[in-house]
Amino acid sequence: MKYRSVDQIGTEHQGHRVTIRRKLPEGGYSDVVGVAEHVDDASITVRNRKGEKIEIDRSEIAAARVIEALPLANPQNPAPG
């Protein structure tokens, strides 16, 4: 799926899984995937699967959207115990 130059992440998406393509200062792009922990008009903070918090300034965003949650590791036994 191609990215469009659009930022689709709003405050209502806090707590959702997102993907963000950001422009790098040295040129090129970098993708960040994780849970949007904080969303406001100036920036989005994402926690990636390594547990790192990444703050992305809105001016750096080339494209952003909400994506589906990760599937369960074992769908036959979704709850522990």
Asked if the structure places residue 35 within a domain, the reply is yes
Asked if the structure places residue 53 within a domain, the reply is yes
What is the rounded CA–CA span in Å between residue 10 and residue 24? Answer: 22
Amino acid letter, 61: I
Residue span of the structural domain in which 15 resides: 11-66
Asked if the structure places residue 45 within a domain, the reply is yes
User: Hey, CA dihedral for 44, 53, 31, 13, is it positive or negative?
Assistant: negative
- Name the domain count of the chain: 1
- pLDDT tens digits along 16-72: 999 999 999 999 999 999 999 999 999 999 999 999 999 999 999 999 999 887 766
Per-residue pLDDT at 51: 95
Q: What is the CATH number of the domain that holds 28?
A: 2.30.30.520
Q: Which of 23, 20, 28, 57 is nearest to 40 (CA)?
A: 57
Contact 31, 9 (CB under 8 A): no
